[in-house]
Amino acid sequence: MKFPAPLVPGRLERRYKRFLADVHLEDGTFVTCAVPNTGSMMGLTDPGSRVWLSTSDNPKRKYRHTLEIVEADGTMVGVNTGLPNRLVEEAIRAGMIADLADFAELKREQKYGMKSRIDILLSDPAKGLAYVEVKNVHMMRIPGLAEFPDTVTARGARHLDEMADMVRAGHRAAMVYLVQRSDCSELRLCRDLDPAYCAAFDRAASAGVEAFAIRCQITPNEIIPEKTIPLGE
């Protein structure tokens, strides 16, 4: 996925109110930007960190800039949680995830379960349905090890239980964890920060829900799904 326009570099002053950040751009301009991430962004909010922002000319937007990338641990980290569905679709179409590219049709944001939407729904006359849930990953506390989640996510646990229900109904279901940083060679569940989510993952895995992790390469010009990495315990 290429960014439609070059990102603007700067230095982070602070992230606050979860969805806002103050940034000093390299040209000396001070801006407040939108932060499209509901998580804690653990390890990614240090003042002075190099950041890259996208720019919008939409006059209806309150904040013209959006935080896209933060430099941490010497690597670029993608923080926009609005991008992973698109990136995972690219990975599926490229044949990176098992045989999911063999399904005839791919749709995004389809209703299922009680009150949920599945990120990607695959359908095929011969293969039936496959439900794909996508999660963005950017936390690394141990070098080389990506972890998810970085905060408690009751919604994520509910989605796992609903996907297990889809498997019991005779369909296929898969979790795809998109690691938006290139310095990790393995993904593990973060059992100390959210044991309830991890318990839901264990229930889902026992029911037959599949799980995959994909690592990305990131530059200020593009984010590319690069390869699958192991998902450990």
d(CA 120, CA 90): 12
**pLDDT tens-digit series, residues 195-218:** 999 999 999 999 999 999 999 999
Q: pLDDT at position 116, please?
A: 84
Compute the CA torsion angle 163, 157, 41, 183 (nearest 10 deg).
Answer: -50
Domains and CATH numbers, the chain: 8-74 (2.40.50.580), 84-232 (3.40.1350.60)
Overall average pLDDT of the 22-30 stretch: 96
pTM for the whole structure:
0.94
**pLDDT tens-digit series, residues 139-177:** 999 999 999 999 999 999 999 999 999 999 999 999 999
d(CA 23, CA 28): 10
Strand-pair category, 186-189 with 231-232:
parallel
| Total Cβ atoms within 10 A of residue 100 | 23
Q: pLDDT at position 98, please?
A: 82
Alpha-carbon distances of 190 from 156, 159, 199, rounded to whole Å:
13, 17, 11
Does residue 231 surpass a pLDDT of 90? Answer: yes
Alpha-carbon distances of 152 from 15, 148, 157, rounded to whole Å:
19, 10, 9
Does residue 136 surpass a pLDDT of 80? Answer: yes
Q: What share of the chain is helix, strand, coil (3-state, %, to 5)?
A: 20, 45, 35
d(CA 209, CA 228): 17
Q: pLDDT at position 201, please?
A: 97
Alpha-carbon distances of 123 from 69, 139, 226, rounded to whole Å:
33, 32, 25
